[in-house]
Structure 1
Amino acid sequence: MPSFDIVSKTDLAEVDNALGNIVREIGTRFDFKGSKCEITRKDNDLTILADDQLKLDQMHELLKVHFTRRKIDPSALDYKTVEKATGASVRQVITVKQGIPQDVAKTITRAVKDAKMKVQVAIQGDELRVTGKKRDDLQEAIALVRGLKIEQPLQFENFRD
């Protein structure tokens, strides 16, 4: 039976490469001279420490640019609330999304069922398996899921005939 998987994975090695590029750029840019701005990663969490809100916004821009250069979708970042740190500096934790959350999986499943397609969608942990009798039905399902407005990068893999 033909099938494929819908997953959401972010390559953490590429994230590390992008962060290395950001650190180098911060070290050479004139507007960051003398500032104590830094960005670190621990597991799936990035921590940004910036002198003020303006520098934090500039670092968000650097994140988007360097993630795009490394072919990482910036929508894989989940920005948490900005916290006050020592003095006037600010800190923000950003989570790199891995896996499809339960509510997003249910949204995708409901959309496919509402479209009355000849495929079945099964939730398997943090990924989805879509099976159908014809390859064309599976390709229609991929087109439908791509058309949904989901705030997370999705990949389609393990396409089997």
Structure 2
Amino acid sequence: MADEFSFDVGCKVDMQEVTNAINQALKEISQRFDFKGSKSTIELDKGKQVMTIASDDEFKLNSVKDILESKLVKRNVVLKTISYGKVEQAAGGSVRQIANFQQGIPIEKAKEVVKLVKDMKLKVNAEIQGDTVRIKSKKKDELQAVIAAIKERDFGIFIEVGNYR
């Protein structure tokens, strides 16, 4: 039997699924009548996890975002992992918007998770490891209580519990 049990709290976006969703959205945009003659694009920089959405006007930009978000949901990408920037003017009277994908947990949110675990007063050890939080205990019941508390609380970002062993 294992000496100590643990699980990780983090966030990981599958960028291959994002790429597939973008390709599907671009295909739908090219076939839709209301986008005929429109210069609507979605570009992804995988290295930085940054996406740029551009279109003729703000109304079409919102339509492109709706199409993309529906494709992302179908591919099990959580929309809470996307943070959109403000809409800015681009060349030729068009508009664009930058969107970032959350990878891992920001350090402030990781500290909130650790504080939540410490406030539960259980014999559980929580430590920040880069962009994840590892929670360890000798009792599975205590870990399951921590998992329930983390899922119940809203940290304002997407947090997933995984790697339970």
- The SS at the match of 2:87 is strand
- The SS at the match of 2:145 is helix
Of Structure 1 and Structure 2, the greater strand share is in 1
Residue in 2 aligned with 1:16?
19
1:117 matches 2:116 = no
Residue in 2 aligned with 1:139?
144
TM-score normalised by L of structure 1: 0.94
- Is there any run of 5+ residues in structure 1 with no aligned partner, and where? none
Is the contact made by 1:8 and 1:152 (CA closer than 8 Å) also made in structure 2? no
Cα distance, 1:108 vs structure 2: 1.0
Deviation digits for residues 65-100 of structure 1 (CA, Å, limit 9, x no counterpart) = 111100110111011121110132111110111111
Q: How does 1:57-136 map to 2 (within 5 A)?
A: 57-136=62-141
- The SS at the match of 1:113 is helix
Is the contact made by 1:39 and 1:47 (CA closer than 8 Å) also made in structure 2? yes
1:36 matches 2:39 = yes
1:59, 1:105 → 2: CA distance? 33
Deviation digits for residues 23-42 of structure 1 (CA, Å, limit 9, x no counterpart) = 01101111111100000101
The structure 1 segments of at least 4 consecutive aligned residues displaced by more than 3 Å after TM superposition are none
2:59, 2:151 → 1: CA distance? 35
Q: CA RMSD in A?
A: 1.1
1:147, 1:158 → 2: CA distance? 19
Residue in 2 aligned with 1:7?
10
Cα distance, 1:158 vs structure 2: 2.1
1:154 matches 2:156 = no
**Structure 2 counterpart of 1:36, which letter?**
K
